[in-house]
Amino acid sequence: MRIEDRVAIGDLMALYCERVDEYDIDAVAALFTPDCVTDYGPGRGGLVSGRDAVRDRIAGGQAQFRRTHHQLGQSRVTFDPADPDRAAAVTYVTASHEEWEGRQWRAHLRYVDVLAHTREGWQFAERRVHAGVIENRPEIDWVWVPRQEPAARP
């Protein structure tokens, strides 16, 4: 692992947020490999394969919003010791949304990614979204962050 790779992956994560918030959907799609796979959860399109299909899913999902704000938190990146052109990352994000009719809601998520180093640089080969807490949108069906039950609940 080179520090330059970790920096480039951090820039990729930030660029995704910038381009989604700007509704620059073609630029978002270009961050994914042609054969990528995404799963934003059953209530946000489910499993989607291929850059064009991912582009269409993101375009449709983001079109329902007047504004969004994606704020990255901590990120843990691990590099595949058998393949220096592959890495995995778990990144926390808080995504705020304002729908066209004014409803606002917030999602506290984890991006669970597989990244590939290509001729274009680091790209998303896989992206899965797991929800930790969802504010003001209980009707959306999510894949939840796995959480153990405590032995005794208060």
CB atoms within 10 A of CB 47: 13
**What CATH number does residue 93 fall under?**
3.10.450.50
How much is the pLDDT for 154?
73
How much is the pLDDT for 4?
94
Averaged pLDDT, 125-129: 98
Gap between the Cα atoms of 33 and 57, Å rounded: 15
Residues forming a β-bridge with 39: 47, 128
144 within domain boundaries: no
How much is the pLDDT for 153?
75
Q: How confident is the model at residue 152 (pLDDT cuts 50, 70, 90)?
A: confident
Domain housing 71? 2-135
61 within domain boundaries: yes
H-helix or E-strand spanning residue 92: strand 86-99
146 within domain boundaries: no
CB–CB of 124/115 below 8 Å?
yes
Per the prediction, the chain carries an average pLDDT of 96
pLDDT digits over 16-41, tens only?
A: 999 999 999 999 999 999 999 999 99
Backbone angles phi, psi at 25, to 5 degrees: -65, -40
153 within domain boundaries: no
Could you tell me the pTM of the whole model? 0.94
148 within domain boundaries: no
1 pLDDT more than 70: no
CB atoms within 10 A of CB 93: 19
99 within domain boundaries: yes
CA atoms within 13 A on the CB side of 123: 19
Number of domains in the chain: 1
pLDDT digits over 33-91, tens only?
A: 999 999 999 998 899 999 999 999 999 999 999 999 999 999 999 999 999 999 999 99
